[in-house]
Amino acid sequence: MKQIRDTVWQRRGTSWLWDAEALAQVGTASEVWSLRQFAQATGNWPEDLPSNDNNTMVVAGLDGCLDLLTPADAENWLASEMKDAILSFQEFYDGQAALIFWLPSGTGRITSNSATDAVSWRCAHPYSNERIDFGRVLWGEAHEYPQEILLREGAKSSGLFHLRIT
C-alpha cells in the first residue's frame, strides 16, 4: 500500500484516522461531529466546517455503528447510507475539504492485505471472525488509493486516506 507523509489528508479527501496525535493536528474534541449529526447534514452541509481553519469535518461513531450491526447489515449500510453521505460531502465542497472518520480502535480493526492492498474491517464480537470489505464497499477496489497516513518517516500508520471516492 502506498504511503503518504504529506498533510493533504488534513484538507482534502476522506480519511479513516485512529491516531490521537494525527487527530490533534486537525481539531479538538469539541469540534468533532457525531455520526448522527453527519448523517442528518447530508444534502444540507454547513458553509463553514468546524475544524482545521474551515477545511475539515471530523466525525466519530462509525465504529460503534458497525459494531451494532450484523456484518451483512453493516456492509449494506456502508454501501448505501454512508457512501451516499460521503459522495454528497465531496460534491458539496467540490473536493476542497477533508472528511475524517475518527476510529480510535482502527489500528486493530482495519487491516490491509499486502499482496492485493484490499482493506477490511474486523467485526466485533460475536462476529469477530468476519470482515467487511471496505475497499469493495466504499471505494470500489481502486487500489491506488487509499494511502496509509504516516506523520513522519518510520512512524506507525495513523490512518488511511482516499483523495476521492467514486
Give residue-wise pLDDT tens across range 92-116.
Answer: 999 999 999 999 999 999 998 877 7
pTM for the predicted model, two decimal places: 0.95
Q: What's the domain range around 80? A: 3-162
CB 123 within 8 A of CB 74: yes
Residues with pLDDT less than 70, the chain: 141-145
Give the number of other CB atoms < 10 A from CB of residue 24.
10
Number of domains in the chain: 1
Per-residue pLDDT at 143: 53
Q: Compute φ and ψ for 141, nearest 5 degrees.
A: 65, 20
Exposed/middle/buried for residue 128 (C-beta within 10 Å: 0-12, 13-18, 19+): exposed
Per-residue pLDDT at 141: 62
What is the four-CA torsion angle of 140, 158, 18, 130, rounded to 10 degrees?
50
Per-residue pLDDT at 142: 59
Per-residue pLDDT at 94: 95
Phi/psi region, residue 155 (left: phi>0; alpha: psi -120 to 50; beta: rest), is beta
